[in-house]
C-alpha cells in the first residue's frame, strides 16, 4: 500500500476490501482464533504487554466498559478502551483517556502491515483488534478495558490474559453464531473466563448461573455474582442522569447518592458489576478511592467519550437516540420511554435484515407513529419490506428514503410537547449523531 493514502482511503480499504460483520453479516465471521494469533505474533504479541479487563455480555458491556474507563481515568490511570461497533468514526473503537486514536496512527498501521494482511487474510474485526492492542502497548497504557465484539470464546479479543473478566448479561442475540438457548449463549460468553482470573457476573440470571459456576470451577477462577455483594437502588432517574443508593448484602449503606450522567434503569445492573470490579481491583492495593469512583460515574460521557446511549439530539422537539437493538435491549428501551412525559411519540426505526423483525415489532409501543428507513449498510432491511410488517401489526407507519429523511419528517410534524425517538439499530443511530 502507498503510505500516501489519506484517512478516507485507508478506511475504504478497511471497509471494502475486508469482510466486516457489521456491514455484510455472517460472511465476515471467523470460526477460530488462528488469524488473530498469527497477526499479533507478527506484531510482537502486544496483547501480552497489556494489563487488561475483558468484558463480554449480550447487553450492558459497552456501558460497563465506558463506566470503568471513566472511573479508572479519574483514579489517574492511563486507560485504553476498545469497543465496537463505532457510530460516526472508525476511531471511536480505540481510545486512550477518551481520546480517539489519531488518523495518522490508523493510516500508518494499515500502510505498514498491508503485506501481512494479504498473507494472513484477516477480517476487518481482527485487524481492528490487533491495531488496538498494538496502540495500547506502544502508548504504554496503565490498564486496557477491552470489550468483546460478539460472543466470547471465539472472539478475536479472547487471546488476552486479563487481570479481571466481566460478563454483564445474557439474552438472545446472534443466535446463528452463539446458540438458540440462553445456556448455549452463556457458554460462549463464559469462554472469556481464564485460569485463576477473577470473573464478575453483573446480573445473576437463574437460567445461566450454573454455566458460569461450572466454567469458573473448571478454570479455578474466583467467581463473583455482583448482585450478591451489592444492592443498588434507584433514587432518581432523569434524562440528565441517575442517582443511586448502594448497600452491602447486610443492608449497610456503602454509597449515598451515587450519581451518574447515564440514563436508564438498566444501568443499575451495570453499576453493580462495576462496583464489584472496583472492589476486586482495590484488593491488593487501593487504586480507586471513593472520590475517583464518584467523579468517574458523574462524567462517563465526557471522560470516556461515550455516545449513542439515551443521547439528547435536540430539545425542541425533544429528540433522543439509543442503540439498544436486540429483544432485551428493546424491552429496556420501551420501559424507559414509559418514564418520560410527552403528548405523542414518534419513532424513527430501521433494522438489519438478519433480525427477528416480527418479535421486535411485537415489543414496540402501539400508540406511536413509526418512521421507517433502511440503515445505510448492505445488511440494512429495505424500508418498504419492513413497512409491510408494521402495517400487518396494525401500527401507524411510513417509509422514507433514508434515516435523515425520516428524522426530518418526524421533527417537522412533531409538536413541542411530542417526543422523537431514534433507535432499532446501532446503524440507524449512527446516521443521526
pLDDT of 382 higher than 70: yes
Cell of 157: 479479543
pLDDT digits (tens, 9 = 90+) for 330-343: 888 888 898 899 99
Question: What is the 3 state secondary structure string of 265-330?
Answer: CCHHHHHHHHHHHHHHHCCCCCCCCHHHHHHHHHCHHHHHCCCCCCEEEEECCEEEECCCCCHHHH
Sheet holding 164-167, edge to edge: 99-100, 94-96, 79-82, 143-147, 52-56, 164-167, 199-201, 223-225
pLDDT higher at 154 or 28: 154
User: To 5 degrees, how large is the angle CA 378–CA 379–CA 381?
Assistant: 105
Q: Residue 2's pLDDT is what?
A: 47
pTM for the full predicted model: 0.93
The model's confidence at residue 24, banded by pLDDT at 50, 70 and 90, is very low
Q: Give the C-alpha separation, 351 to 382, whole Å.
A: 9
Report in angstroms the alpha-carbon separations of 90 from 3, 85, 166. Answer: 19, 8, 25
Q: pLDDT grade, residue 418 (50/70/90)?
A: very high
Poorest-pLDDT segment among 45-54, 80-89, 257-266, 289-298: 257-266
C-alpha–C-alpha distance, residues 390 and 131, integer Å:
41
- Arithmetic mean of pLDDT, 212-220: 98
Tell me which H or E stretch contains 136. Answer: helix 124-138
pLDDT category of residue 171 using cuts at 50, 70 and 90: confident
| Total domains, the chain | 2
* 398 and 415 together in one domain: yes
Secondary structure letter of residue 49 according to DSSP:
G
Using pLDDT thresholds of 50, 70 and 90, give the confidence band for residue 172. low
Q: Model confidence at 178, in pLDDT bands (50, 70, 90)?
A: low
Lowest mean pLDDT across 2-11, 184-193, 355-364: 2-11
Say how far apart CA 123 and CA 19 lie, in whole Å.
5
- Quick one: 113 and 192 in the same domain? yes
Last residue of a domain, one of 261, 283, 304: 304
- Are 244 and 220 in a shared domain? yes
Counting residues of the chain whose pLDDT is more than 90, the rounded percentage is 77
Do 221 and 131 fall into the same domain? yes
- 193 part of a folded domain: yes
Residue 209 in domain: yes
Same domain, 126 and 234: yes
Last residue of a domain, one of 244, 269, 304: 304
- Residue 222 and residue 140 in one domain: yes
Question: Residue 310 — φ and ψ, nearest 5°?
Answer: 45, 50
Per-residue pLDDT averaged across 109-136, rounded? 94
Tell me: do 375 and 403 sit in the same domain. Answer: yes
Q: What span, in angstroms and rounded, lies between the C-alpha atoms of 165 and 57?
A: 11
By DSSP bridging, strand 199-201 and strand 223-225 are parallel
Quick one: pLDDT band at residue 181, thresholds 50, 70, 90? confident
Which residues does 252 contact at the CB level (< 8 Å), separation at least 6? none
Domain final residue pick, 273, 304, 335: 304
Distance of CA 202 to the CA centre of its chain: 15
Reading the block at residue 29, the C-alpha cell is 465471521
Residues recorded for the chain: 433
Tell me if residue 400 falls in helix, strand or coil.
coil
Domain of 400? 311-430
Does 250 share its domain with 339?
A: no
Amino acid at each position: 500500500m502507498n503510505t500516501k493514502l489519506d484517512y478516507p482511503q485507508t478506511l475504504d480499504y478497511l471497509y471494502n476490501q475486508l469482510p466486516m460483520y457489521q456491514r455484510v453479516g455472517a460472511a465476515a465471521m471467523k470460526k477460530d482464533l488462528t488469524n488473530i494469533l498469527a497477526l499479533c505474533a507478527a506484531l510482537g504479541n502486544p496483547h501480552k504487554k497489556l494489563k487488561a479487563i475483558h468484558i463480554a455480555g449480550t447487553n450492558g458491556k459497552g456501558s460497563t466498559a465506558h463506566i470503568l474507563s471513566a472511573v479508572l481515568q479519574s483514579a489517574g490511570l492511563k486507560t485504553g478502551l476498545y469497543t465496537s461497533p463505532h457510530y460516526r468514526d472508525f476511531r471511536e473503537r480505540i481510545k486512550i483517556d477518551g481520546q480517539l486514536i489519531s488518523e495518522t496512527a490508523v493510516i500508518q498501521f494499515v500502510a505498514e502491515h498491508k503485506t501481512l494482511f494479504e498473507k494472513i487474510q484477516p477480517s476487518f474485526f481482527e485487524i481492528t483488534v490487533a491495531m488496538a492492542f498494538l496502540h495500547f502497548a506502544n502508548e504504554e497504557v496503565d490498564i486496557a478495558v477491552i470489550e468483546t465484539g460478539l460472543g466470547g470464546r471465539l472472539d478475536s479479543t479472547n487471546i488476552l490474559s486479563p487481570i479481571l473478566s466481566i460478563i454483564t448479561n445474557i439474552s438472545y442475540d446472534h443466535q446463528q453464531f452463539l446458540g438458540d438457548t440462553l445456556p448455549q449463549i452463556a457458554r460462549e460468553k463464559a469462554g472469556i473466563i481464564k485460569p485463576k482470573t477473577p470473573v464478575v457476573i453483573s446480573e445473576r440470571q437463574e437460567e445461566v448461573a450454573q454455566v458460569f459456576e461450572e466454567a469458573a470451577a473448571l478454570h479455578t477462577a474466583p467467581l463473583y455474582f455482583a448482585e450478591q455483594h451489592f444492592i443498588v437502588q434507584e433514587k432518581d432517574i432523569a434524562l440528565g442522569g441517575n442517582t443511586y443508593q448502594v448497600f452491602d448484602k447486610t443492608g449497610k449503606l456503602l454509597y449515598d447518592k451515587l450519581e451518574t450522567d447515564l440514563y436508564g434503569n438498566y444501568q443499575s445492573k451495570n453499576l453493580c458489576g462495576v462496583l464489584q470490579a472496583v472492589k476486586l481491583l482495590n484488593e491488593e492495593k487501593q487504586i480507586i478511592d471513593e472520590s475517583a469512583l464518584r467523579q468517574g460515574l458523574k462524567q462517563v460521557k465526557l471522560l470516556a467519550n461515550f455516545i449513542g446511549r439515551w443521547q439528547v439530539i435536540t430539545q425542541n422537539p425533544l429528540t433522543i437516540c439509543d442503540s439498544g437493538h436486540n429483544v432485551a435491549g428493546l424491552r429496556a428501551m420501551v420501559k424507559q420511554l414509559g418514564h418520560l412525559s410527552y403528548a405523542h411519540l414518534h419513532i424513527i426505526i430501521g433494522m438489519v435484515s438478519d433480525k427477528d423483525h416480527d418479535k421486535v415489532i411485537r415489543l414496540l409501543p402501539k400508540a406511536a407513529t413509526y418512521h421507517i428507513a433502511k440503515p445505510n449498510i448492505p445488511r440494512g432491511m429495505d424500508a418498504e419490506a419492513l413497512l409491510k410488517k408494521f402495517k400487518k401489526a396494525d401500527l401507524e407507519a411510513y417509509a422514507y428514503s433514508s434515516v435523515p429523511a425520516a428524522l426530518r419528517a418526524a421533527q417537522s410534524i412533531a409538536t413541542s410537547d411530542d417526543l422523537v425517538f431514534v433507535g432499532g439499530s446501532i446503524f440507524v443511530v449512527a446516521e443521526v449523531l
